[in-house]
Amino acid sequence: MMTVKHSHNLYLAPLRGVTIRAFRDAFYEPLQEAGFIGAFAPFIPANPGIRPNASLLKDLLPHNENDKNWQLVPQVISKDAPSMRVLLRAFKDAGFSRADLNAGCPFPMIRKRLRGSGLMKTPDVLEELINAGCEEMGEGNFSVKVRLGISSTDELCSLMPIFNRYPLACLTVHARTALQMYEGDVHFDKFEEILSLSKNEVMYNGDVQLEKDTFRTFIPSHPEAIEKMNIKSVMIGRNFIRSIGERHDAKDLLKRYLELSIAELNGDNPVLGRMKELLTYWLHVPKWKRLWPVIKISRTIEEFKTLI
């Protein structure tokens, strides 16, 4: 297996329901081959009254993550510092020395309850969480993932003094507003402004693609941007997930994902739901597009197996 060395550190983005443990495990080789050095795990909620039990933490159980060169960073979503501290301690007990705060989730249900990107509306709560995170995890071991704003690309700029007061591992910026959700232009100029304002390392996120075969990173709408930027790390989500569907061994990898999911989940429906969710990322590939109408209506794991 050839592995590329990037001029930047490459991290897999957290996608809830997609880049889960079975995914990170089944597609570990493609991740390695493309040069990823780690992944941020999808968010785990920390709310008053919820104890971080084994089931809440099961996505973090070690697999390939025993690999010393591979870093898994658990992520928390919260608006309550005491509850977040409890979860961060559970992360530490499970052997993690790094953690990330989700301050970017754009879904209205989350945002309107002032969690995820909604934290941008309550700077005091945001700061309380950052302070608690840095205290619990220690200097340089806590990071925050944000967007440029909720409705305007200027909002993050005005929050920078808060982030700058703390020694973060990094600030990951998805260069969109929350109202944009996952579509529309990334605001590269605003990202650069954040970069110039930040005392912490800034990691770029949003629409980064890996060039086929060479795995060079680029942003289609700003092809030269990554090389030009003064950044150490880049986070990639959807375009990596899409690229797996283009591989000649996609079917075998999918079978491995299926087997790991069968072992983890109970019953056909949750397993099929997971497979179908992944396949929605592969519909640009003619083979998967052709199969999709029958896969979409498959009802049992056995049926699904015969279709792929």
- Residue 98 binds to ligand FMN (criterion: CB under 6 A): no
- Region near ligand FMN per CB under 6 A, out of 22-30, 206-214, 217-225, 249-257: 206-214
Site for ligand FMN in 18-37 (CB under 6 A): 18
Residues 6+ apart with CB under 8 A from 55: none
- Residue 220 binds to ligand FMN (criterion: CB under 6 A): no
Q: How far apart are CA 221 and CA 20, in angstroms?
A: 28
Position among 174, 187, 190, 274 found at the interface with ligand FMN (CB under 6 A): 174
Closest to 189 in 3D by CA, of 179, 203, 176: 176
Q: How far is the CB of 306 from ligand FMN (least distance, A)?
A: 28
Closest to 104 in 3D by CA, of 113, 94, 96, 115: 115
Site for ligand FMN in 262-301 (CB under 6 A): none
Q: How far apart are CA 231 and CA 201, in angstroms?
A: 8
Q: What are phi and psi of 50, to 5 degrees?
A: -95, 125
Per-residue three-class SS string for 273-284: HHHHHHHCCCCC
Of the pair 106, 272, the CB lying nearest ligand FMN is at 106
Q: Which residue is nearest to ligand FMN (CB)?
A: 237
Q: How far is the CB of 187 from ligand FMN (least distance, A)?
A: 13
- Residue 102 binds to ligand FMN (criterion: CB under 6 A): yes
Of the pair 30, 42, the CB lying nearest ligand FMN is at 42
- Residue 85 binds to ligand FMN (criterion: CB under 6 A): no
- At which residue do the structure tokens 């979503």 appear? 77
- H helix or E strand, kind and range, residue 272: helix 268-279
- Residue 206 binds to ligand FMN (criterion: CB under 6 A): yes
Residue 284 near residue 242 (C-beta atoms within 8 A): yes
The CA-atom distances, in angstroms, between 221 and each of 141, 189, 207, 208, 218 are 32, 12, 9, 10, 9
- Residue 115 binds to ligand FMN (criterion: CB under 6 A): no
Of the pair 15, 303, the CB lying nearest ligand FMN is at 15
Q: With contacts defined by CB under 6 A, how many residues of the chain interact with ligand FMN?
A: 21
- Region near ligand FMN per CB under 6 A, out of 12-20, 54-62, 157-165, 216-224: 12-20
**Planar angle of CA 266, 307, 243, nearest 5 degrees:** 85
- Residue 13 binds to ligand FMN (criterion: CB under 6 A): yes
- Residue 205 binds to ligand FMN (criterion: CB under 6 A): yes
Q: Note the residues at the interface with ligand FMN (CB under 6 A).
A: 13-16, 18, 42-43, 75, 102, 104, 145, 174, 182, 205-208, 236-239
